[in-house]
Amino acid sequence: MSLQKLVDELDGMVLAGDFAGAVERFFAPDALFIGGPEDIRHGAMEKTKSLHHFAQSVRSIDAINRHGVATATGVSYSEFTFRFTQHSGQQLIWNEVIRRRWDNNKVTEEKYFIGHPTGDPELPFGKDAQEAQTLATLEIIAETSHEEEAPAAKAKAKPKKTAKAASAADDLTKVEGIGPKINGLLNEAGISTFAQLAKADPAELKKILEAAGPRYRMHDPATWPTQSAMAAAGQWDQLKAWQAAHQAGKA
């Protein structure tokens, strides 16, 4: 099967809202999913788990549009706009360029670049001799957009911690719903221990996520203080049981 046809079938499942099904069908078991240097998921199983968690966090999928697609040897690019409504009524609108690397008809790496809506149903992707240059230019633009994704969060960053303070920090990723990137965001906001997170107001945690850009607004921190209280008290068995019961995915 041609790469173009594979991409069209995969993107068709995305357009239908079957995100987890697309991962199960088209991705290698050990595929990497990259949202940034500190936002990496290892393996299709971990990605599927996070997608199920995301599905629980939204009330509706309002629209998914694919604006364009381009392929080169072993790599494809698709641009989408996603529109969701959360249970709170807040709307999420993402415009993303998704780069996928392929091997033996399976995706081995998927990377997301925050883009900007084109307002045009077709993107001016290059063809033939111009394609390589077009793809390279697209990736450079996308990388720049991704790096500038969260200026508000950077502006609110706290001064760097001393070596002594850093050594006392807890691994907040043990709380379901928190991955390495969100751990960093919380640290920058002055939250680096389970005890601090246990006392945090979920509304203030939500503000930290919203300031970091559209990729983080979907996460619900409502249970993080509860989980952190168990972790701070060393109640690891209770925490593990709670997480198993709630089946939440890390972000």
Mean pLDDT within 12-18:
92
Domain of residue 127 covers 3-149
Final residue of a structural domain among 130, 149, 168: 149
Which among 208, 10, 40 is positioned nearest to 112, based on CA atoms?
40
The C-alpha atoms of residue 113 and residue 97 are separated, in whole angstroms, by 5
What's the chain's average pLDDT?
A: 77
171-216 tens-digit pLDDT: 999 998 888 889 888 988 889 999 899 899 988 898 898 888 777 8
Specify whether 236 is located in the same domain as 116.
no
Total structural domains within the chain:
2
On whether residue 251 sits in a domain, the answer given is no
Q: Of 118, 149, 180, which residue is a domain's last?
A: 149
**Residue 182 belongs to some domain of the structure:** yes
Does the pTM of the predicted model rise above 0.75? no
Per-position b or e across 68-80, b if 16+ CB within 10 A of its CB = bbbbeeeebbbbb
Angle, in degrees to the nearest 10, between helices 19-26 and 3-15? 150
Three-state SS for 101? strand
Buried b (16+ CB within 10 A) or exposed e, 195-214: ebbbebeeeebbebbebbbb
Please check the confidence at residue 9 and state whether its pLDDT lies above 50.
Answer: yes
Q: Is the domain of 172 the same as that of 112?
A: no
Task: Give yes or no: residues 17 and 140 share one domain.
Answer: yes
pLDDT in tens, 26-79: 999 999 998 877 778 889 998 888 888 888 888 899 999 998 888 888 999 888
Looking at the structure, tell me whether residues 123 and 161 fall in a common domain.
no
Beta strand extents in 90-226 (DSSP E only): 91-103, 106-114
